[in-house]
């Protein structure tokens, strides 16, 4: 496994600032869906490709538009541009509706799915970057399955398949529920403020002597709201994997009531070379976790112990839903 640098440009910072302003101005007109577009590979459908359906949505959209994607494997790269919020991408089950493409490049360019605007819902779809998944003999490079930039994104029953850098949770508040995420090297990473509820994490190690990393969380500042919280769910796999390493100085990851298989390494966490800064800056915690990998007796000595009040700060309501945006989403069956 090889490490690759990840740099953020000034243009990206401007881009992020813009969509945060956009997220404050857009409420999508309530819970009602104003229009439904159907995508499929045969039969009576509106479009044959997912990207064509997204392109048909008007710029500065301010009402929920559902794009229903019929079962099938769609070999395409898909992007929701920043000027098109209030979109629901709905599949027919993550085992049946699959977006797949093979692409290796720098992290920010390799994603086969990119969602940039606020107020996006994804449900029942698999996002697969097949580069490191199907080509197991090839050299490993970053190959992102999905990048989520936009604030107030809800992802339900989706699967993300990759090996290195599978899911780039970049910026904003994101809620992942009942999802499947597969990889080995930093396979959930970024500077987002994300809550993962009842998700299945599968560490697919190829080198049993070299543990991978589930997370590489990128919280940069002490006052940043960024962080990853895992509530319930399970971590399985083969070989060994660390729970996380500190991509940025104030990296923050909490596991609460998660079931850990024996795939978790005894030390559990890695400071990524930030020796001497672990206690003062990094927040890594495991609370009430279970399973053969939940033994913390040999963990790094600087993992945090959270009081009940501190743990409450990382609840769904407190961590990402203080303004009740999740309560204003359309009903997803």
CB 48 within 8 A of CB 39: yes
> What pLDDT is attached to residue 19?
45
Domains in the chain, CATH or no CATH each: 184-323 (2.160.20.10)
* pLDDT value, residue 9: 41
Residue 107's pLDDT is what?
A: 67
Mean pLDDT in each 10-residue stretch from start to end of the chain (333 residues)? 42 46 65 96 94 97 97 98 98 98 79 97 97 81 94 98 96 98 97 98 87 96 97 95 96 98 97 92 97 97 95 97 95 86
Dihedral sign computed on CA atoms, order 277, 279, 285, 291? positive
Chain segment 79-115, per-residue pLDDT in tens: 999 999 999 999 999 999 999 999 887 666 789 999 9
- What pLDDT sits at residue 108? 67
Q: Which residues on adjacent β-strands are paired with residue 38?
A: 68
Of these residues, 151, 165, 169, 178, which one is catalytic?
Answer: 165
What is the pTM (predicted TM-score) of this model?
A: 0.91
Q: What are phi and psi of 232, to 5 degrees?
A: 70, -155
The predicted structure's pLDDT at residue 138: 72
Pairing of the two strands 146-148 and 167-169:
parallel
In Å, what is the CA distance from 56 to each residue of 81, 119, 154? 12, 17, 22
- The active-site residue, picked from 104, 169, 178, 186, is 186
62 is catalytic: no
134 is catalytic: no
């Amino acid at each position: 496994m090889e490490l690759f640098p990840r740099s953020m440009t000034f243009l990206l910072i401007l881009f992020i600032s813009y969509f945060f302003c956009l997220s404050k101005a857009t409420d999508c007109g309530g819970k009602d869906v104003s229009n439904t577009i159907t995508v499929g590979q045969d039969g009576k459908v509106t479009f044959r490709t997912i990207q064509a359906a997204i392109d048909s949505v008007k710029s500065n959209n301010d009402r929920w538009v559902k794009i229903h994607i019929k079962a099938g494997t769609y070999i395409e790269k898909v992007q929701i541009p920043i000027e098109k919020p209030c979109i629901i991408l709905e599949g027919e089950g993550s085992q049946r509706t699959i977006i797949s493409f093979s692409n290796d490049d720098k992290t920010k360019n390799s994603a086969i799915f990119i969602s940039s605007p606020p107020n996006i819902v994804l449900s029942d779809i698999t996002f697969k970057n097949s580069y490191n998944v199907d080509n197991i003999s090839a050299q490993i490079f970053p190959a992102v399955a999905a990048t989520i930039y936009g604030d107030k994104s809800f992802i339900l029953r989706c699967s993300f398949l990759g090996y290195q850098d599978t899911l780039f949770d970049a910026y904003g508040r994101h809620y992942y529920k009942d999802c499947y995420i597969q990889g080995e090297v930093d396979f959930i990473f970024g500077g987002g403020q994300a809550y993962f509820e009842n998700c299945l994490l599968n560490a697919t190690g190829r080198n049993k002597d070299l543990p991978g990393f589930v997370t590489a969380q990128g919280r940069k500042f002490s006052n940043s709201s960024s962080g990853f919280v895992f509530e319930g769910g399970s971590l399985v796999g083969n070989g060994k994997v660390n729970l996380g390493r500190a991509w940025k100085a104030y990296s923050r990851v909490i596991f609460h009531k998660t079931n850990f298989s024996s795939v978790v390494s005894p030390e559990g966490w890695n400071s990524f070379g930030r020796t001497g800064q672990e206690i003062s800056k990094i927040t890594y915690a495991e609370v009430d976790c279970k399973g053969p990998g939940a033994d913390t007796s040999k963990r790094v000595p600087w993992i945090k112990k959270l009081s009940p009040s501190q743990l409450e700060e990382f609840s769904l309501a407190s961590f990402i839903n203080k303004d009740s945006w999740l309560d204003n989403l359309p009903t997803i069956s």
